[in-house]
């Protein structure tokens, strides 16, 4: 990766599918993408879930690509009539949908021993005009890149493989590091400590995640920074502060 490492590069995710909004399918791609992007030095800044409605997909893609370095979409690039993501993204860019010759070749090879390339399967070779392909070694049908928009499959194992295909191709900055401390203490008792500790260490963020277990309240505190040294100093200060508050912190969380 190249570029100014001090710059914060951001990405957004558009999760497309009525099945997600209905609760029939649970999304697993957001977490996987966020972790993968962090390795690339890119922060997932926002995500939207939208139905299989072209106008809503167009609005989400255009809004998010205007304020982020990258936009990823998952879902809606399959062979059925309700897979409309290609049409929607083409509309967002104001270009027609075309059959990508290389995508057609890939699908012809993949389905040569699987019944051949029929009309439905050929839909997976459709791309917005001017788009490039993202390799898919799992099921043949490629992902799509146009501008700063990356269209991936909704099936998690295929989406993860497409991320692997993109490894090292995106420009980003420093990865966001993190370290966790856990404590059996109510976060309300250490709210001032968290705020003041974060303020002392520029570039650090402290997230507080409360829980209730074994009849007791506690919280995990996650310190994040792109600077390992500053993060370590912040963690030490928080550790000492939790001890002063009467708790015994647990490195790695509870």
Question: What CATH number has the domain bearing residue 181?
Answer: 3.30.70.600
Which of 133, 25, 24, 26 minimizes the C-alpha distance to 86? Answer: 133
Q: Do 130 and 189 have their domain in common?
A: no
In a domain, 134, yes or no: yes
Q: Is a pLDDT exceeding 50 seen at residue 1? A: no
**How far is Cα of residue 248 from the mean position of the Cα atoms in its chain?**
34
Write the pLDDT tens digit of every residue in 82-139: 999 999 999 999 999 999 999 999 999 999 999 999 999 999 999 999 999 999 988 8
Structural domain including 185 reads 177-251
**DSSP E strand stretches across the chain:** 9-16, 42-50, 70-74, 97-99, 126-128, 132-134, 143-146, 149-152, 177-183, 205-213, 216-225, 250-251
**DSSP bridge partners of 74:** 15, 152
Q: Do 100 and 48 have their domain in common?
A: yes
171 burial class (0-12, 13-18, 19+ CB within 10 angstroms)? middle
Distance CA 152, CA 85 (A): 10
**By the 8 A CB rule, do 97 and 85 touch?**
no
Q: The whole model's pTM is what?
A: 0.82
Write the pLDDT tens digit of every residue in 145-182: 999 999 999 999 999 999 999 998 999 988 889 999 99
């Amino acid at each position: 990766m190249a570029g100014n490492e001090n710059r914060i590069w951001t990405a957004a995710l558009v999760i497309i599918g009525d099945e997600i909004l209905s609760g029939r399918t649970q999304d697993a791609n957001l977490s996987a993408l966020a972790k993968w992007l962090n390795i690339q030095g890119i922060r997932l800044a926002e995500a939207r879930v939208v139905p299989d409605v072209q106008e809503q997909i167009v609005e989400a893609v255009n809004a998010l690509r205007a304020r982020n370095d990258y936009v990823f979409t998952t879902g809606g690039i399959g062979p059925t009539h309700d897979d409309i993501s290609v049409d929607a993204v083409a509309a967002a860019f104001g270009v027609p949908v075309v059959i990508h010759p290389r995508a057609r070749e890939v699908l012809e090879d993949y389905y040569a021993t699987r019944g051949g390339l029929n009309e439905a399967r050929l839909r997976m070779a459709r791309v917005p005009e001017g788009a490039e392909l993202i390799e898919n070694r799992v099921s043949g049908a490629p992902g799509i890149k146009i501008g700063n928009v990356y269209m991936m499959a909704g099936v998690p194992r295929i989406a993860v493989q497409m991320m692997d295909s993109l490894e090292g191709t995106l420009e980003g900055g420093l990865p966001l590091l993190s370290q966790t401390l856990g404590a059996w203490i109510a976060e309300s008792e250490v709210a001032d400590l968290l705020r003041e500790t974060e303020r002392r260490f520029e570039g650090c963020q402290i997230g507080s995640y409360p829980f209730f277990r074994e009849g007791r309240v506690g919280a995990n505190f996650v310190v994040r920074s792109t600077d390992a040294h500053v993060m370590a100093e912040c963690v030490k200060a928080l550790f000492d502060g939790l001890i002063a508050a009467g708790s015994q912190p647990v490195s790695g969380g509870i």
